[in-house]
Chain A
Amino acid sequence: MAESESVIEISHLATRFGQHIVHSDVSLEVRRGEIFAIIGGSGSGKSTLLREMIMLHRPDAGTIKVLGQDLQALEAAEALALRQRIGVTFQQGGLFGSLSVLENIGLPLREHTALNSSVIDEIAAWKLALVGLAPETAQQYPAELSGGMNKRAALARALALDPELLFLDEPTAGLDPDSAGGVDALVLKLRELFGLTVVMVTHDLDLLWQVADRVAVLGDGKVQGVGSMAELSALTHPAIRQFFDGPRARTAAMEGKEQAWKAK
């Protein structure tokens, strides 16, 4: 089975914005090869936590280790090297509006490798196909694409440098059910193909039940529970219950459990 080496270790993280305490004591661990989801109510600090893991924000206390490196202790060159081992997609897509899709996907390669321009274009075109986009989209601009296509293109760009670790911020937000289902399948396929570790921040219950191996629930500045969806459903903290009670949660749970049963 997969080694249970820790890809991300967060211990006793604290974050404040002025007087507002976002995280008071957050600790969690992500193992290699797993799909890890971070969930919580609005304002629970999920996106802030994600930003701290990808070095866009410095926490006020605590340590974060990504791929074995302590983020607080990194020099600029080390940080740059680490950034090339992770891929990130953003809630708004984050594609550069002035570049075509192909140029977007090829940008990390142009920046960090000495490859030939035509080779970069070919690799970018392959990644495009990998995420399920038609070849015609290569020359289109982000503004011309639908939301689902934008997210896929952003995913292709995140995969440009073959990262070991992928961070997805609300990968299915704003997508129609069909596109969202496509994202589910795509994440699973990519994990299988490349042995990726995936960390995602999401509200999407279907995504959680179908795709996530383990889930951490953030609430009141701490991690209120970590485990598979089935394990979490037995816990009683209100921050956790909202994901299991209520008509939407129960339907998603049924579907998820059915899928797991069929897979056996």
Chain B
Amino acid sequence: MGQLDQQLGALTAPPKTVIEVDGRAVEGLDTVGVWLLENLLQRLRAEGHPVQLEGWTSQFSKLIELISERTKTPLPEMPAEKMLARMGQATIATGEQALALLAFLGESAVALAGNLAHPARIRWRPVLHNIGSAGFDALPIVGLLSFLLGIVIAYQSSGQLRQFGANIFVADLVGLSMLREFAPLMTAIIVAGRSGSAYAAQIGSMSVSDEIDAMRTIGIMPIDLLVLPKIVGLMIALPLLTVFADVLGVFGGMIMARTQLGIGFEDFLERFNKAVSVTSYLTGIGKAPVFAVIIAVVGCFQGLRTRGGADSVGRQTTRAVVQAIFLVVVADAVFSVVFSILNI
């Protein structure tokens, strides 16, 4: 078809002659073909040649008539947005979302307070189910990744420590970094990817299939049945997962310490006991409920904002994970600053 277009474009004729367009040999004509033909006819007419159509079957003639009736209405031009305008719009949209997220956090807090005031209203089965799916089911992946992280930390630092003959301090290093920072942060990021996306996807697809509206009309508030059990379940599960990550991370460090630095398990643990105080452990675990609230609230928030079809569910799920991870890392930074000010 492309070639035909070029060939037709190349045709010329002496001026003022009548052009006969003979269609007797044409066997098939589709809409693209007729469009090319119409282009040709219009060009010829514009150049001042009267045009005659000969020998076209009635069916093809109808097609040609159809396209000639089509007045060329220019497509509405979408103004190309300047980059600054786009940046401005994106900033406003982000601000509006942040405000809406804050409002949703408030709504959830009020609902939670309401449930605590009337304990009979608490839906235990969904809470337990969430502890199972977000917590227990995540044990293998959290354990494995923490273990590997512990190995990496110990391995990377072993080179430096060996130079100074400070091998034993690997216990301090692995212990403090794991318990204070890496285990809580890593666990939160893994759970944000696993559960944050699951929450957004579940609520999002329910929203698309009218299930959220149906729930409201039956007299069940979505925030009670869907959102609160997830928040509560995750607030219970994430600290426990963090403890598990602590143990496996340190264990990974211990193994590397033995193979790379020749420090036996007993020596490691003795040093670990001296160097790592309970405070370090508690600051790590203490971050977990905050991370849990962030992950669950952002996941449910984005799920409830789903409008449209499957495409929207995918977009919202992505947003949920990215925003949750972002906010978790920001929260971690804030914690670091606060703890250093408080000298904890």
Contact = CB atoms under 8 A, between A and B. Distances in A.
A162 B99 CA distance: 41
A107 B219 CA distance: 10
Contacts of B206: 96-97
B226 to A, nearest CB: 11
A97 B219 contact: no
Interface residues of B, number: 13
A111 B218 contact: yes
Interface of B (DSSP majority class): helix
Interface string A72-112: 00000000100110101011111111000000000110011
Task: Specify which of B209, B213, B214 lies most central, judged by the most chain A CB atoms within 10 Å of its CB.
Answer: B214
B86 interface: no
A91 B214 CA distance: 11
A95 B211 contact: yes
Contacts, number: 48
Contacts of A90: 210, 213-214
A96 B214 contact: yes
Q: At the interface, is chain A mostly helix, strand, loop or mixed?
A: mixed
A157 B211 CA distance: 13
Contact of A91 (B210, B217, B220): B210
Interface residues of A, number: 23
Interface in B176-213: 205-206, 209-211, 213
B219 A94 contact: no
Interface string A97-132: 100000000011001100000000000000000000
B211 A94 contact: yes
B258 interface: no
Contacts of B216: 55-56
A83 B209 contact: no
A54 interface: yes
B217 A111 contact: no
B44 to A, nearest CB: 41
Contacts of B220: 107, 111
A97 B217 contact: no
A111 to B, nearest CB: 6
Contacts of A80: 219
A54 B217 contact: yes
B210 A93 contact: yes
B96 to A, nearest CB: 14
